[in-house]
Amino acid sequence: FSYWTKLGIPVYKPVVPFGNFGPIIMKNTGVLPEITKLYKAFEGHRLGGLYGFGYKFLLVREPDLIRDIIVKDFIHFHDRGVFMSEGGDPLDLHLFSMTGAKWRKLRVKLTPTFTSGKMKMMFGTLVDCGKGLNAVLQKSAKMGETLEVKDILARFSTDVIASCAFGIQCNCLRNPNAEFRTWGRKVFETTFKTKIFRLLNIIIPGFIKYFGIGGLYRFTNPSLLVRDTDIMKDILVKDFKNYFARGLKFDEESEPLNGHLFSISGPKWRNLRVKMTPIFTSGKIKTMFGSVVECGKELHTSLQKIVRNGETIEVKDFLARYTAWYLYFKISYSYWEKRGIPTLKPKAPFGNFRDSILLGRNPGFEITELYKAFDGHRVGGVYRLSGPSLLLRDTEIIKDILVKDFDHFFSRGRVVDEKYEPLDGHLFALSGTKWRNLRVKLTPVFTTLKIKMMFGTVIECGKELEHFLQEPANNGETIEVKDILARYSTDIIASCAFGIQCNCLKNPDAEFRNWGRKVFEPHFRQRLTSILNILYPSLVYTLKVSLIPKEVSNYFRKMVKETVEYREKNNVERNDFMQLMIQLKNKTLNVAEEEDVKTLQKETDGLKSSNTPFGDWLKFITSRMLDIPFLQLWVTIATILTTVYVYFRVSFLYWKKRGVPTLNPTAPFGDFGKAILTKKSFQQVINEFYNDFDGQRFGGVYSFSSPALLIRDPEIIKAVLVKDFNKFHSHGIITNEEVEPLQGNLFALSGSKWRNLRVKLSPTFTSGKMKMMFGTMVDCGKELQTFLQEPANNKETIEVKDILARFSTDIIASCAFGIQCNCLKNPDAEFRIWGRKIFEPTFSGKILRTITFLLPSSSRFFRSSFLSKGVTDYFMKMVKETVEYREKNDVKRNDFMQLMIQLKNKTLGVAEEDNIKLGNLDADETENNAPFEITVNVIAAQAFVFFLAGFETSSTTMTFCLYELALNPDIQERLRAEIDTVVEKHDGNITYESIFEMEYLDKVVDETLRKYPPATTIRRECTKSVKLHGTDVLVEKGTKLLFPIMAIHHDPKYYPDPERFDPERFSEVEKKKRPHFTYLPFGEGPRICIGMLFLPLLIIHT
């Protein structure tokens, strides 16, 4: 309590142990009266010093000092010093209690909610509550009642806060016991405990903090803060024997790790220090220096990566975690070196199996390389993650382990849980007594006699194979040997092991084979589990992960159970493995046959004297057909992985063989890994391709294993989109209108369906029809103008994109669906809510869209829609009801829906349809030329794609246009002048004709569409093999072509300084300087966007 006195600051005499706050604690004096008393006690002083227990406080009286602290020097005094427990109570996360950066961020977020404009917005609520107060007071005044003003005003305040802050009506003025008020009062109910805690949070917040984590704040033990260096020297050296204890008390029995030099005292400390001192000599430190250097190199590499990525790190935390991580693996990786075993340098945390664990290579290849690396050694030490393993090369050691010392090495190291996965309880996986007991039981099943017994079944299957091969042999056909032998093997195993006839040779899709193939179907989870099962089996056991899919396990268990029950019930016997297992189960296998186990022992003894134990052991197992299913499992997995690897390697040579420049694809994603793994957007990846192929007319890329061409040359783009359109008319989208009726739209369809629908729809998008809908746009425009008037008058800030999205929704809802949804007035209109669900991003949806775009054929596999069933049902129902209502009541409107109804009822003028001219498609694409009927489903699909294409593109383009105008006020002023001039010319009205007189506005829109094109990439699929224009490159049927619109629009070769917004790029003079087909916001050719007239009209009108 002498702190302030030493600093020459006036002090009010404190009382031990409470300091200056004893009356508040002991006499129940209020905080405010006590602070007021202390304020008066320091009269004549600018400030005064106080104590709360051992904490120091300054009471500031002078206004200038208060101003400096609260304003000028705020950065040094921004915290209130109140302890906040984020984890303990979420309601602590408010502005009053938060500190530092968290307070600042929240304050920045909340400030806009307390502007005068927002207060004005809430004032109506205050007025309503005031009327309620007035009514209560009027009633009491008339009755001459005496009121408790504090209570009345408290209830009034509660009503105001409940309404303004929580958005609820609690009516406390009428109902003083309203639930909200009852719970609110509990916040302020004072108990001794809450009073103490609140006071301590002000006086000694550290106590509360430590109390919150279970610690105790000790204010009775005295401590000395030593500042004098001579005294320090005496304590730490001269008088050490009197001060050697740190004063820490730990329980070594409950926590053995507390028995270290830092925590123990007395003789224990002395004895341990004597033992440990030789370990930390300069010589020993020098021996460790090499490890420190290696650690430093690793740290340098990590920091370099962080610096390159521009990341921010917490250095202290980073170094602590890095050091702990490094030391753990460094110690683990010294295991073999300490034992004198040759080893290879492992890489943390994967050991010597980094490539396998990261799924880049087959474990067999890695083990082969390790075998070669230990050439000249009998054994070598390797590491699986941090666990040590021995790789054996010497055949004598192999012999000893597999035979002589078998009792010490009988386990394969697999950890199985038969309760979780019963199919794991087989000879290959079991260990110890379980393996021995099962081996003894099963050995009689695989004697030569039993194998001979099954040989007849093998003969029968062989005859089926001979009969199956006879026809292709007679016809000289080429066959897929591997597939046929796989089906043949399946027939044998199904018959011999399971006792069923599946006839896979005749029926390759037999149920047994389909389920069997699921065991070997390669997928990420199975591959990872297989590798971990080899490298870290205990982890697989802990995670309860099985190599066998659950549904496969259930199928085989059910099949075996039903087979056993059927045979036992009906006394059925067959010469197969299943019958022998049933006999073992029922203990009816002949004892004489069990004596064949002795023969097994003799053969095993003979194996011990073999010079090639591994080879004989393998022959021994093979001859007994021991574990054939599991050997087949591993062989098949290895074969599949090898096949997949070779498949991708061969696939990735496609463009190279054809002399097409290409990049470096990576299996399995090809060149689109970053997009598929969501590390970069699809457009970012396409832009990178465009830049990588700089100087080339085109380049070859791969989406998964499928080749695609990225076209850069405008001449080739022109040839594909126009001249050779009949061979590139498809978008490459595979639709399934049965699963998703809304997919039957003009954008998604191909071939004759697209052509027939395009012919039908073209009359609905002529300039005449656009002019017909223009009145609807004008009406919506007036609504927008009215809506914007109020915020403009009040100079409020508005969210332009949201308002334009609602405006676009109103126009499209009116023009396409014929409904008035008034989204400007009601942002939560039903139509808008369902419309937004289409664009709600989800991780799975993003992955599915990317994969389907890159690999359209996968949509057949997924058989799913990007749209939720609710969205589909809503739009289908809405269109159906609209069509039925109009037809029934003879309602007509100037909108797209009316034109579609006319097409459906064949009342649209034929003359207009005759004007349609589309390029002819190849015969193989128009073989289905049946009349195309417009149904309600077709109408719904077209109206839906109208919404899909128009909503996001129009609102986004308009937003970008306004954004650029805000950045370029000179362009904005010039555009405003042109619009005012043209509108004045048309008597102050915006007409369809006036729109086309606004030339500069047209340039502004064109420049916006250049810089921010709605379609950033266009795709086409080759429908008939053809040579690429002006080259010898043959584009085969099914090949995808990509046109990077965004990249072309930002190519300085065509648009100098492409990031600059310059409408004059679209003057007639500038347009002539550029090659054709370098401006493609809506595509080009016969498949150009059919609504290309509608979108610019909407944007220009806005």
Q: What is the pLDDT of residue 832?
A: 82
Which pLDDT band, with edges at 50, 70 and 90, does 326 fall under? low
Residue 210 lies in a domain: no
Q: Check pLDDT > 90 for residue 306.
A: no
Residue 11 φ/ψ, nearest 5 degrees: -130, 140
Average pLDDT of span 499-524: 77
* Separation CA 301–CA 379 (nearest Å): 33
Do 534 and 565 fall within a single domain? yes
Q: In terms of pLDDT, which residue wins out, 263 or 127?
A: 127
* Separation CA 734–CA 860 (nearest Å): 8
Average pLDDT of span 368-385: 90
Residue 517 lies in a domain: yes
Q: Check pLDDT > 70 for residue 761.
A: yes
Least confidently predicted of 40-54, 66-80, 277-291 = 277-291
Which percentage of the chain shows pLDDT scores above 70? Answer: 74
Q: Check pLDDT > 50 for residue 582.
A: yes
Residue 582 φ/ψ, nearest 5 degrees: -65, -40
Rg (CA), the chain: 41
Average pLDDT of span 628-651: 61
Do 784 and 844 fall within a single domain? yes
Which residue carries 């098949």 as its tokens?
Answer: 636
Average pLDDT of span 1073-1086: 91
Distance from the Cα of residue 705 to its chain's centroid: 24
Q: In terms of pLDDT, which residue wins out, 319 or 751?
A: 751
Do 589 and 484 fall within a single domain? yes
Q: Which of 585, 600, 615 is the last residue of a domain?
A: 600
Q: Check pLDDT > 60 for residue 154.
A: yes
Least confidently predicted of 504-513, 691-700, 1062-1071 = 504-513
Q: What is the pLDDT of residue 60?
A: 92
* Separation CA 680–CA 664 (nearest Å): 17
Q: In terms of pLDDT, which residue wins out, 424 or 983?
A: 983
Q: Check pLDDT > 80 for residue 446.
A: no
* Separation CA 928–CA 921 (nearest Å): 12
Is the separation of the CB atoms in 810 and 1102 below 8 Å? no
Residue 111 φ/ψ, nearest 5 degrees: -55, -45
Which pLDDT band, with edges at 50, 70 and 90, does 373 fall under? very high
Is the separation of the CB atoms in 1046 and 954 below 8 Å? no
Is the separation of the CB atoms in 1003 and 1064 below 8 Å? yes
* Separation CA 449–CA 593 (nearest Å): 9
Q: Residue 29, class by beta-carbon neighbours within 10 Å (0-12 exposed, 13-18 middle, 19+ buried)?
A: middle
Average pLDDT of span 989-1010: 89
Q: Which of 374, 393, 412 is the last residue of a domain?
A: 393
Q: What is the pLDDT of residue 629?
A: 42
Residue 174 lies in a domain: yes
* Separation CA 660–CA 646 (nearest Å): 21
698 forms beta bridges with 711
Is the separation of the CB atoms in 844 and 868 below 8 Å? no
Let me know the angle formed at the C-alpha of 524 by 348 and 861, rounded to the nearest 5 degrees. 160
Count the domains in the chain: 6
Most confident of 123-127, 348-352, 606-610, 1018-1022: 1018-1022
Average pLDDT of span 608-625: 35
Report residue 803 as tokens.
Answer: 């308002």
Average pLDDT of span 474-497: 84
Q: What is the pLDDT of residue 237?
A: 80
How would you label 538-550 residue by residue, b for 16+ Cβ within 10 Å and e otherwise? eebeeeebbbbbe
* Separation CA 321–CA 302 (nearest Å): 13
Q: Check pLDDT > 60 for residue 495.
A: yes
- Half-sphere exposure of residue 257: CA atoms within 13 angstroms, side-chain side: 0
Report residue 307 as tokens.
Answer: 């610096």
Q: Check pLDDT > 70 for residue 67.
A: yes
Q: What is the pLDDT of residue 25?
A: 64
Q: What is the pLDDT of residue 689?
A: 94
Q: Say how many residues make up the chain.
A: 1102
Q: Which of 134, 169, 189 is the last residue of a domain?
A: 189
Least confidently predicted of 203-207, 374-378, 895-899 = 203-207
Contacts of 626 (CB under 8 A, 6+ apart): 427, 446
Q: What is the pLDDT of residue 616?
A: 39
Average pLDDT of span 559-576: 84
Q: Check pLDDT > 80 for residue 1026.
A: yes
Q: What is the pLDDT of residue 416?
A: 67
Average pLDDT of span 620-642: 45
Q: What is the pLDDT of residue 57?
A: 86
Report residue 745 as tokens.
Answer: 């739209």
Contacts of 648 (CB under 8 A, 6+ apart): 667, 668, 705
Q: What is the chain's mean pLDDT, rounded?
A: 77
Chain segment 5-57, per-residue pLDDT in tens: 888 899 888 887 778 877 776 655 677 888 888 889 889 998 988 887 777 88
Q: In terms of pLDDT, which residue wins out, 6 or 284?
A: 6
List alpha helices for 476-549, DSSP H. 481-497, 511-520, 524-535, 537-543
Residue 289 lies in a domain: no
Report residue 637 as tokens.
Answer: 């997995």
Q: What is the pLDDT of residue 696?
A: 94
Collapsing DSSP to helix, strand or coil, 1000 comes out as: helix
Q: Check pLDDT > 90 for residue 452.
A: no
Q: In terms of pLDDT, which residue wins out, 1012 or 642?
A: 1012
Do 718 and 751 fall within a single domain? no
Report residue 373 as tokens.
Answer: 């690396």
Report residue 992 as tokens.
Answer: 């369809």
Q: What is the pLDDT of residue 269?
A: 80
Do 749 and 698 fall within a single domain? no
How would you label 69-105 residue by residue, b for 16+ Cβ within 10 Å and e otherwise? eeeeeeeeeeeeeebbeeeeeeeeeeeebbeeeebee
Q: Residue 768, class by beta-carbon neighbours within 10 Å (0-12 exposed, 13-18 middle, 19+ buried)?
A: exposed
Do 385 and 451 fall within a single domain? no
Task: Name the residue type at position 813.
Answer: A
* Separation CA 1072–CA 73 (nearest Å): 63
Is the separation of the CB atoms in 709 and 698 below 8 Å? yes
Do 709 and 759 fall within a single domain? no
Range(s) of the domain holding residue 727:
647-732+999-1101
Q: Check pLDDT > 90 for residue 1056.
A: yes
Chain segment 915-945, per-residue pLDDT in tens: 444 555 554 444 455 556 788 888 888 888 8
Among residues 368, 372, 374, the alpha carbon closest in space to that of 341 is found at 374
Which pLDDT band, with edges at 50, 70 and 90, does 635 fall under? very low
Question: What CATH number did the domain enclosing 527 receive?
Answer: 1.10.630.10
Task: Name the residue type at position 559.
Answer: M
Q: In terms of pLDDT, which residue wins out, 85 or 214?
A: 85
Angle between helices 800-816 and 767-793 (to 10 degrees): 150
Which pLDDT band, with edges at 50, 70 and 90, does 604 fall under? very low
Do 468 and 531 fall within a single domain? yes
Q: Check pLDDT > 70 for residue 489.
A: yes
Q: Check pLDDT > 60 for residue 628.
A: no
Which pLDDT band, with edges at 50, 70 and 90, does 220 fall under? very low
Q: What is the pLDDT of residue 359?
A: 55
- Half-sphere exposure of residue 760: CA atoms within 13 angstroms, side-chain side: 26
Is the separation of the CB atoms in 381 and 340 below 8 Å? no
Among residues 368, 387, 1047, 316, the alpha carbon closest in space to that of 714 is found at 1047
Among residues 436, 439, 443, the alpha carbon closest in space to that of 595 is found at 443
Q: Check pLDDT > 60 for residue 669.
A: yes
* Separation CA 692–CA 483 (nearest Å): 41
Torsion angle of alpha carbons 389, 394, 395, 397, nearest 10°? -60
Q: Which helix (H) or strand (E) holds 512?
A: helix 511-520
Average pLDDT of span 680-705: 92
Which pLDDT band, with edges at 50, 70 and 90, does 695 fall under? very high
Do 143 and 265 fall within a single domain? no
391 forms beta bridges with 380
Among residues 199, 209, 179, the alpha carbon closest in space to that of 84 is found at 209
Do 723 and 761 fall within a single domain? no
Residue 209 lies in a domain: no
* Separation CA 797–CA 804 (nearest Å): 14
Residue 953 lies in a domain: no
Chain segment 851-867, per-residue pLDDT in tens: 555 555 555 444 455 56
Q: Check pLDDT > 50 for residue 94.
A: yes
Q: What is the pLDDT of residue 1054?
A: 94
Task: Name the residue type at position 878.
Answer: M
Collapsing DSSP to helix, strand or coil, 73 comes out as: coil
Distance from the Cα of residue 80 to its chain's centroid: 39
Q: What is the pLDDT of residue 1044?
A: 95
Least confidently predicted of 16-25, 141-150, 465-474, 787-796 = 16-25
Q: Check pLDDT > 50 for residue 209.
A: no
Residue 201 lies in a domain: no
Residue 12 φ/ψ, nearest 5 degrees: -90, 130
Do 476 and 548 fall within a single domain? yes
Which pLDDT band, with edges at 50, 70 and 90, does 450 fall under? confident
* Separation CA 58–CA 39 (nearest Å): 11
Is the separation of the CB atoms in 918 and 758 below 8 Å? yes
Residue 958 lies in a domain: no
* Separation CA 958–CA 426 (nearest Å): 67
Which percentage of the chain shows pLDDT scores above 90? Answer: 16
1081 forms beta bridges with 1083
Q: In terms of pLDDT, which residue wins out, 592 or 979?
A: 979
Residue 337 φ/ψ, nearest 5 degrees: -60, -40
Question: Is residue 461 annotated as involved in ligand binding?
Answer: no
Do 1011 and 1089 fall within a single domain? yes
Most confident of 608-617, 631-640, 966-975: 966-975
